[in-house]
Amino acid sequence: MNPAIIDPHASSTLAGLYLHIPFCKQRCTYCDFYFVTTRTSHVAFENALLTELEHYAPQFETETFDTVYLGGGTPSLLPESSLARIVGAVLDHYHIADDAEFTLEANPEDASLDYLRGVKSLGFNRLSIGVQSFFEEDLQFMNRSHSSGDAAAALEHAEPSGFDNISVDLIFGLPDQPAEHWAAGLQRIVEAGVPHISTYGLTVEERTVLHKQVERGLVQPLSDEEMSDRFLFTMEYLNEHGYEQYEISNFARPGYRSRHNQQYWNHVNYLGMGPSAHSFRRAGRSGSSATRWSNVRNLRQYETLLGSHQLPLEGRQRLTLEDLASEHVMLRLRTSDGLDLRTLESEYGVDLLSEKIDELAWLESEGFIDPIRNSLVRLSLRGRQLCDSVTRKLLPVPSTHARPSSHR
């Protein structure tokens, strides 16, 4: 294969392994993730993925992975035998922590009791179910491949199959979706005892069916005010029922945060494989720069390149200390733990209290951030409704940062 792209002096802690399974039964109107709807054999993809797994293994032989996540696409379209091949390759080639979190994304129509029991026997200990809605009209609008009955059955099957760490995805803000539908969906998840809920506001992304529908005037998105009200209701309702909003879109009961997704928000290393997958790795002990790289967004090209012993790379970006500082601010403000200004200064050389003192004072006075205590900046409920706008006000000014202190 072509030469390795990983810095041999990179930091020695790799947080998570992500495998992108790009198959779907049909195209959801809102989705801009990479996927294909081909019904042909998956064997060529599996062979390519195993080749990629084998290639990177020597570069990470000293690393310990504490999370493994199969996302997509629809990983649950793969039969147990295929999942067994993939899991076996991961365990053969990588050092996986004894208590690692193994997540499988599944669509409700695939989540039969027998299938989930088989998945559990392979070592998966966390299940993420893409419910999106319990109402037929919502599912039809999104062109989902499951029914409301499938969604209910998936929840019923999860626990007796051996899963207690379960997450459900729901989407709010669909055009013409009654507020009562959204409230009822949340209530159903809460009453089912699901310990983790991911809620996403419907967004109109380019290259999607929904984008074309909006452009043609066939669909009228909800107003910003309506979306904000729906999101506020979500936060208040789930908080009242014992869920911590540990990240803007994610709510968990105590002990059930997604360890894998926290790797992204904590800005630590991860390795992604499969078509369109992304990876991030800090370079050197100081962590003063990093590399981000991505795979081609084309299944056939991915298979062909790996079949000829070439890495399926699409892009590679070297991130400077300034880049990392801005990303750190953006990621940490999304979390309930907040942005630690002392960490920002010691690790990235950015003194935000001096650089953005007027902005911080204004945001606090207007109630967008909680009062700053112990150098922590946290978004208020109001601030979470306008997370992107608040974050833009606090992004570091380029080209003014000192290097981080050397005591780290």
Task: Assign 3-state DSSP to the chain and report helix, strand, coil percentages, each to 5.
Answer: 40, 20, 40
| Domain made up of 325-394: CATH architecture | Orthogonal Bundle (1.10)
Query: What are the residues whose beta carbons fall under 8 Å from the beta carbon of 82, sequence distance 6 or more?
Result: 42, 46
How high is the pLDDT of residue 406?
A: 29
Sequence ranges of the chain with CATH classification 3.20.20.70: 16-264
Q: Rounded to a whole number, what is the distance in angstroms from the first to the last CA of the chain? A: 36
Residues 163-212: tens digit of each pLDDT:
999 999 999 999 988 899 999 999 999 999 999 999 999 999 998 999 99
Nearest to 32 by CA among 197, 217, 386, 276: 276
Which residues pair with residue 291 across a beta bridge?
A: 281, 318
Which residues pair with residue 198 across a beta bridge?
A: 169, 250
Q: Which CATH superfamily is 16-264 part of?
A: Aldolase class I (3.20.20.70)
Q: Taking a C-beta distance cutoff of 8 angstroms, is the pair 153, 191 a contact? A: no
Sequence ranges of the chain with CATH classification 1.10.10.920: 325-394
Q: Taking a C-beta distance cutoff of 8 angstroms, is the pair 18, 295 a contact? A: no
User: What's the pTM?
Assistant: 0.92
Task: Name the DSSP letter for residue 178.
Answer: -
Residues 60-99: tens digit of each pLDDT:
888 899 999 999 999 999 999 999 999 999 999 999 999 9
Residues 18-70: tens digit of each pLDDT:
999 999 999 999 998 898 987 678 999 999 999 999 999 998 888 899 999 99
In the numeric block, the tokens 């990629």 are attached to: 52
